[in-house]
Structure 1
Amino acid sequence: MTAHPSPDATVVRTVQNGVLILQLPPRLTVTEAVAFRAGFCGWLEEVEDLREVILDFGRTASIDSSGIGALVGAIKAVQERAVPLCAWSLHRQVFLALQLTGLEKLLPMAAHSEGLLPQLSHVEDQRPPLTHPSVRSGIKRFMDICGALIGLGITALLFLPLAVAIRLDSPGPILFSQVRCGWMGRHFRIWKFRSMVSDAETLKGSVANQAKGAFFKNDNDPRITKVGRILRKTSLDELPQFWNVLIGDMSLIGTRPATPDEVRRYAIPSWQRFDVRPGLSGEWQVNGRSSIRDFEDVIKLDLRYQQNWSLGYDLRLIARTFLVLLSKDSGAA
């Protein structure tokens, strides 16, 4: 058996009979996650006749969205090599994070490793995974529920005329749904009034992307219907998302909700945007979302929101959102 500390001394590697055991650091946040993701594929290559990879979480008491991103990358790497991957000694907090994001199904606990779990108090067992204060704020959640109920009331009043306009303009469903990535990268289904032709997802490959980086934008997207352009200009297409806010997948104010295909292109630091819930509006909405062309600018806005967050800041962004909607330059391209 041989053990090798990684260059930054955060991960300890042990190889025994073709089994690679990686002892993870006490925290798996952005700094540690970047180092882990950068070294992971190389560590796999160093092992001759690799039979299995085990992630030992015995020291790891906290994890954030960047850590989740690193684990997603590791899972994909071993899947490409058809090598089994499992976890040892999961702290309750880490297991909760994996459970919230659905990763416990892709990263199973090794048989009989439950006995290796560190002994935690009842209070520690209930502690949520490391996350942003905005997610833990009861007042913010109360504001979201109140705002969502008002928004759904408006949606109910406008549903019939909007449904008739959408159906007369283009055949297909009234509502459009799509899988997006929310807090900690967890998948959820977002709802909108349909603003494109019904086979828009199939036709996406034929439309040029005018944006740079991990998101899609085209100012003259031919898939958008005539009524759809009006819906987007006025942001009426987003009214059904108040349902997503009500059930907790989204917030009134947060980061831009990303699609899974965008997330597959993320570097680990970009996963920090998942430390908060995605928002119906946010920095990206009030700072010219139609003109943003570089994904790095989206990341900067998302991180600025996290750094500046307070309940008062949310209220200011809500007020600015209304001002944007009333301006002639409002709406998505």
Structure 2
Amino acid sequence: MLSLRPGSSGSLAPESSGAVIHPSAKCLIKRSIDILGALVGLVLLGLVAGPIAIAIRLDSPGPIFYAQTRYGLKGKPFTIWKFRSMVQNADLLKQTVSNQAQGLIFKNENDPRITRVGRVLRKTSLDEFPQFWNVLRGDMSLVGTRPPTEDEVSHYSSHHWRRLDVKPGITGQWQISGRSAIRDFEEIVHLDLHYQDIWSPWYDLQVIVKTITILLDRRGAY
């Protein structure tokens, strides 16, 4: 585990962190795809936000949206947005739920904190639609790595930090390779680094198309 220090803009970074940024983070074609995809996603969000908001409010008390600090490119923090899919005090109850994953991720297929509406939102990935706003802002990309929490990055080893050489994505190599069925953090890291090795704007488009196909088939989510 590496010693962490606050970086510029409040980022967390290992003491040995270099200045190398993956080409995808500087690619204008990728950014253009992100902006176009985000605008389409936000239009779709506008169509479904009303019914989803009503369903969330009727199902359980609490806010419509859930905001959480995540860490993106080179450890820069940002606020990620989702439709709330858990009970209001879910973060405080996390320690009461067993972890079925290995390593620095937390997964439980039967997590009791997930609401009835939340299970539908997660199954269809509708809970993630507000993240198109994060993409439009530039905090995220349509395709990238899974955005980690502060608890995760505070326990990163040196090779884990390579995940953050690219922007986090709404989808990525992990999602088209098994999504929630993958419960080993080291396997997720391997997939993220593999994505970096084979990345191209054309490959991003392939990942997006495959993600849509998987979601329509409703595989790999809970």
TM over 0.5: yes
SS at match of 2:105: coil
| Among candidates 42, 66, 73, match of residue 176 of structure 1 | 66
Query: Corresponding residue for 1:156?
Result: 46
User: How many angstroms apart in 2 are the aligned matches of 1:223 and 1:136?
Assistant: 39
Q: Does 1:138 align with 2:28?
A: yes
Shift in Å, 1:102: 3.9
Query: Corresponding residue for 1:99?
Result: 8
Q: Does 1:230 align with 2:139?
A: no
8 Å CA contact 2:12–2:76 kept in 1: the answer is no
> Which is bigger in relative contact order (C-alpha 8 A, separation at least 6)?
2
Shift in Å, 1:157: 1.0
Summarize the alignment of residues 267-306 of structure 1 with structure 2, pairs less than 5 Å apart: 267-306=157-196
Structure 1's consecutive aligned runs of 4 or more residues displaced over 3 angstroms after TM superposition are 100-104
Unaligned runs of 5+ in 2: none
Q: What amino acid does structure 2 have at the position aligned with 1:250?
A: M
Query: Corresponding residue for 1:199?
Result: 89
Q: Does 1:322 align with 2:190?
A: no
8 Å CA contact 2:162–2:193 kept in 1: the answer is yes
User: How many angstroms apart in 2 are the aligned matches of 1:301 and 1:218?
Assistant: 21
Query: Corresponding residue for 1:251?
Result: 141
User: How many angstroms apart in 1 are the aligned matches of 2:11 and 2:172?
Assistant: 26
Shift in Å, 1:328: 3.4
Q: What amino acid does structure 2 have at the position aligned with 1:256?
A: R
User: How many angstroms apart in 1 are the aligned matches of 2:126 and 2:112?
Assistant: 19
8 Å CA contact 1:101–1:184 kept in 2: the answer is no
Shift in Å, 1:130: 2.1
Deviations 1:269-312 (CA, angstroms, capped at 9, x unpaired): 11000000000001111111111111000100100100010011
8 Å CA contact 2:124–2:218 kept in 1: the answer is no
TM-score normalized with structure 2 length: 0.94
Shift in Å, 1:100: 4.4
SS at match of 2:103: coil
| RMSD (Å), alpha carbons | 1.9
- Distance change (3 Å), C-alpha of 1:75 and 1:142: closer
SS at match of 1:280: strand
SS at match of 1:180: strand
Deviations 1:129-177 (CA, angstroms, capped at 9, x unpaired): 4200000101100110110011011101111100000100011000001
Shift in Å, 1:75: 4.2
- Structure with higher Rg: it is 1
User: How many angstroms apart in 1 are the aligned matches of 2:160 and 2:189?
Assistant: 7
Summarize the alignment of residues 62-73 of structure 1 with structure 2, pairs less than 5 Å apart: 70=2, 73=3
Q: Does 1:242 align with 2:132?
A: yes
Q: Does 1:220 align with 2:110?
A: yes
Query: Corresponding residue for 1:208?
Result: 98
TM-score normalized with structure 1 length: 0.63
Shift in Å, 1:266: 1.1
Residue identity over aligned pairs, in percent, reads 55
| Among candidates 149, 152, 160, match of residue 262 of structure 1 | 152
8 Å CA contact 2:12–2:75 kept in 1: the answer is no
Q: What amino acid does structure 2 have at the position aligned with 1:320?
A: K
Query: Corresponding residue for 1:82?
Result: none
Unaligned runs of 5+ in 1: 1-36, 38-69, 77-97, 108-128
Summarize the alignment of residues 100-115 of structure 1 with structure 2, pairs less than 5 Å apart: 100-102=9-11
8 Å CA contact 2:160–2:189 kept in 1: the answer is yes
User: How many angstroms apart in 1 are the aligned matches of 2:12 and 2:183?
Assistant: 32
How many residues align? The count is: 219
